[in-house]
Amino acid sequence: MKRGYQSIFLLAIFLLGCLAQAAPAKPVTLQIWFTEGNEQFQIIKDLVDESFTPKTGIIVEGSVMTYDDLWQKGLLAMASGETPDVASFGSEWPAEFGVRGGLIDLKKTFGKEFDELITKVFPNQMRAVEFLGAYYGIPVRFGFAIAYYRTDIFKQNGWEYPKTWDEAKKLIPKMVVKNTTISGPDWYIEPRWPTIMQFVWQHGGEVIKEDHLHSGLDEPNAIKGFKTLVELYKDYKLPQSPTPIQAFSTGEMSLMVAGNWRYTALQAAFPQLNGKWKMELLPGAMVGGKLNRSAYNGGVPFGIFTNSKYKKEAWEFIKWFFSDEVQIEYSNRVMQKIPHYFFFSANMNAAAKSPFPEEDVKILFAQAEQSIAPRAGLGATIICRRFMDNAIMRCLLQNEDPEKSIKQAAKESNDELQSKYKEFKRYIEANLKLK
């Protein structure tokens, strides 16, 4: 009798095991923190439900939040260990989170797949997500500076669009006579750090060196770029404050330096100007016999949290979303469903098929190729930008010598960069295996 009970017990265990094996595995659900908007995320969710989940079985859920909220919640989540799987970030944030151990090194983790994926990314985009050889994000879209000019006003006055700032210096006095100027509504032509970066890059300089620990602002090419910018404000009287976009309509600002996202805004706000304006690459500088028309850009990268239990699945999502077909479809849908919204993919193949007139796509693509993302410099990055702002203000308000002023900014930046390196040294050594 006892042996019979044992047989029944063993049979029950066997049957339970079979049932457990036969039961379908619980589907993986990825949690994503998204920093764009509810409408944009819903379009991503629709695409996920249509193609990603049916193909992979992976479910995607998410929360939409502001950049400020993500920064604070991200740091707290890292400290508690309760992070989502994936998040979209500000341009250089992945390096900040990654060095602290919060995000995985995508290159180290996914190797050849990562290398293949980034061949589609515009040049100089990956600078913002890299720190000492580790890559913590993949940019999926980005904004950059570009020029818009009133072709009717230029034609009426017999002006040629200036390809260099030297040509612009010759044009500006003629523009002043006609009560018009070069300016912009954004920070791309103000006496502030993004404009300083553009002029430094255009003249062959660098803001933060490749080692991430030293400023390049005290080197000859950077100094030359800074001097050129100061000269435009002091000697050629370019406006030092943002000029409302309406001035482009009235003609008071016939050459506007602004973000690429202004493209759809101009079309919507000023239909009377249709056929009277064009986009063009920024004026630049000749360096080594070549014209450099670099523009500042800021991307929206996706990264994977170290605490994610589903890193492989999270990578599958990023690969899927960055694929040519999904980026093209997302670009089309988001601009169809959200009035006057602008999207330009960081995927070169998708960007080349943006839903704009072919001539405009060529200009956007060409400027994107010459746009540069700032190099990450840990927590010092924001402070170093303040040093650049202070440097140009000393020149404009206190008449300080530009070379002296930018060299002071370089020294202050070096001190701050190296101070931050010491502060984060234990994280860097632990996460990047440096000694």
The string of pLDDT tens digits covering residues 131-152 is 989 999 999 999 999 999 999 9
Fold held by 29-142+297-372: D-Maltodextrin-Binding Protein; domain 2 (3.40.190)
Q: Give the span between the Cα atoms of 186 and 51, in whole angstroms.
A: 38
In eight-state DSSP terms, residue 340 is T
417 has which bridge partners?
none
How far does Cα 36 stand from its chain's mean position?
13
pLDDT at position 91: 83
C-alpha Rg value of the chain to the nearest Å: 26
In eight-state DSSP terms, residue 132 is T
pLDDT at position 6: 54
Q: Give the span between the Cα atoms of 423 and 88, in whole angstroms.
A: 26
Q: Give the span between the Cα atoms of 258 and 271, in whole angstroms.
A: 18
pLDDT at position 75: 87
Which residue bears the tokens 């061949």? 119
Residue type, 186: D
pLDDT at position 371: 96
pLDDT at position 427: 75
pLDDT at position 15: 47
pLDDT at position 433: 58
Question: Rounded to the nearest 10 degrees, what angle do helices 324-337 and 311-322 cross at?
Answer: 70
Residue type, 46: D
pLDDT at position 431: 67
pLDDT at position 435: 37
How many other C-beta atoms lie within 10 A of the C-beta of residue 153? 17
Q: Where exactly are the structural domains of the chain?
A: 29-142+297-372, 191-240+378-424
pLDDT at position 19: 43
Q: Give the span between the Cα atoms of 206 and 204, in whole angstroms.
A: 7
In eight-state DSSP terms, residue 134 is E
Fold held by 191-240+378-424: D-Maltodextrin-Binding Protein; domain 2 (3.40.190)
181 has which bridge partners?
253
pLDDT at position 22: 45
Same fold: 29-142+297-372 with 191-240+378-424: yes
Contact 433, 104 (CB under 8 A): no
Contact 102, 305 (CB under 8 A): yes
Q: Give the span between the Cα atoms of 106 and 135, in whole angstroms.
A: 6
| Residues whose CB is less than 8 angstroms from the CB of residue 227 and which lie 6 or more positions away in sequence, other chains included | 402, 403
Pairing of strands 130-131, 181-183: unpaired
Q: Can you tell me whether residue 142 is helix, strand or coil?
A: strand
Q: Give the span between the Cα atoms of 409 and 76, in whole angstroms.
A: 32
Residue type, 412: E
Residue 328 phi/psi, 5-degree rounding, is -65, -45
Segments of the chain with pLDDT less than 50: 1-2, 5, 9-12, 15, 18-20, 22-23, 434-435
pLDDT at position 67: 86
